Structure 1
């Protein structure tokens, strides 16, 4: 049975978070002399001399309407990577606790574990890139606090079986983190709607992929109000800058444009797969629910180097466990995909 206080670090339970000037005051005012800001403005066309809303209230309200989740269940971070790091710092005692990751998967789970001096137990995915539930069950011990699952998975592109994830949620006494960075491209529905069913569920999403805002660094975590309160307690006071908040608010008003780009991306993905399959050095292309494909080849490094020479950059994943011989290719514009194909047709 999951109980938040049983896995929360003692020092976090006792933590008094930093109280910023804007935390202590809410409401309307015309003169702000509380935060030691430059009262004369900024040397820019827009004034950024005031500190941003530390809890991003307006942005969370807009996201609430887009995602169908109460604002109190939303955490915003400097990319999803900040949310990942805060989960480690909130729930994992360095040198004592451990987490479970399921390679091949997103590399920041391991990096964050290393930074926080937390053991990351690896339970490899199966040959068809699904969870090894028996292996995960064997790896769990009394110090296992988090399980990270990326779905759709990076770098393989496939969605993880929903029933398997629900099995973990129902039986694990720690937190299950589902990273849905690519969910906008997936046929699988988001786990956000399951927040009321599972107190130990954290869902990560981002504005960096389908929303095209990678340069703004706005990541989201959706969880119970209790977990969100912990994350807000641990985060830096002004972790999302004013420009990112304003631009993200503007972008969230263009849902139709984003949906059209998603549609085009999926069409381009299907077209690219069909064309790549005709190349004799392509051995397999794995099913994808993301805006990229994993391609098994006869010579991953040789193909990668050849493309680099022609100014085309993809990812060589051939040294990643269970991805031997594989290249990860992001779906580009029609023109970019055409350039890729034309160049690959010259490879010998």
Structure 2
């Protein structure tokens, strides 16, 4: 009998959003009518330049460069850093475990706000680290004094997500600076997967000031390359080098690097996506404000928002399942996010027809409660 790592025995698994095909088949709904609002994907699809680059990179009989050097050079050039400051991976979800393994040991603590992207605490626990949670309270807002007070000597890694998931709230540069300065013996991980949707520059330039900061970004969201699996981190060489020692060899193939390089330069696709999401976010916020029994948490700066179920006759699981019957996929907060409870759904901002389907479905569910 083979015995696995005991740390893995009782751990939860990550729950991704359901597929359109599953919902269409299960509930007898036309595939094109299903609104997939649970994975924060780009409703406009991939960058056209990236799609063409992938087609042109079909020489797949040879090994790729094991460091994805061409992509690292292009990222470095775009954001004003050196290639030695860039690491690329198969999505942020490959880079996050590298960070935890490189900068903490079993028994060390890893700090995060909760609710949070579940990969943070799942990887930490699986690697024998101890997650330290700072709750966001009933208003689901950042409690900065509590967070700074939690940065103690036995904490090795400090996570920040900007915009935050699942709330979509935006951190200010000054707030991020305060954490970097307080955590001068720790590594600060600034996850900017959704930063484009905030129409701010993000924290890339802060890497030049804080050697204890790594900024993460992904090609899965605004660039529309979720299926290619590409993410990257930018930090000082002292941070990147040990991660490169742990990185799997040939973790990115030619198709991934070619698509990502082309997507970086497709400003037309990026701007179209960001502007359309901002317009549709305002549209759906206005529509939801007229519904009884629901409220949006805070002011979202991302391509999703957090919906609170105010009607006590309903909870997140019931509404989630009723939405599926009506061809709408969202995230059930009680399943997807630690410490969020049974009253919240995370919902993507998407095309108008999908937003209208969502609002109509929520109204119908509320009227039947």
The corresponding residue for 1:74 is 86
Equivalenced residue count is 304
Q: CA deviation at 1:79?
A: 0.7
Task: Give the TM-score taking structure 2 as reference length.
Answer: 0.77
Q: CA deviation at 1:333?
A: 1.4
On the 8 A contact 2:173/2:203 being kept in 1, the answer is no
**Aligned runs of 1:269-280 on 2, under 5 Å?**
269-280=281-292
The corresponding residue for 1:18 is none
The corresponding residue for 1:23 is none
On the 8 A contact 1:156/1:294 being kept in 2, the answer is yes
On the 8 A contact 2:296/2:305 being kept in 1, the answer is no
CA distances 1:167-197 after superposition (whole Å, capped 9, x unpaired): 1211211111111110000144311111111
User: Quick check: 1:205 aligned with 2:237?
Assistant: no
Larger radius of gyration: 1
Report the Cα distance in structure 2 between the residues aligned to 1:160 and 1:283, rounded to whole angstroms: 21
The corresponding residue for 2:344 is 326
Aligned equivalent of 1:260, options 272, 279, 298: 272
The corresponding residue for 1:193 is 205
Q: CA deviation at 1:260?
A: 0.7
The corresponding residue for 2:180 is 169
Unmatched 5+ stretches in structure 2: 1-56
On the 8 A contact 2:190/2:216 being kept in 1, the answer is yes
Higher relative contact order (CA 8 A, sep 6+): 2
User: Quick check: 1:111 aligned with 2:127?
Assistant: no
User: Quick check: 1:97 aligned with 2:108?
Assistant: yes
**Aligned runs of 1:13-92 on 2, under 5 Å?**
46-92=58-104
The corresponding residue for 1:141 is 152
Unmatched 5+ stretches in structure 1: 1-44
Aligned equivalent of 1:216, options 223, 228, 251: 228
The corresponding residue for 2:303 is 291
The corresponding residue for 2:317 is 301
Report the Cα distance in structure 1 between the residues aligned to 2:246 and 2:102, rounded to whole angstroms: 7
Report the Cα distance in structure 1 between the residues aligned to 2:171 and 2:350, rounded to whole angstroms: 24
On the 8 A contact 1:130/1:160 being kept in 2, the answer is no
On the 8 A contact 2:151/2:182 being kept in 1, the answer is no
Say which SS state the counterpart of residue 364 (structure 2) adopts. Answer: coil
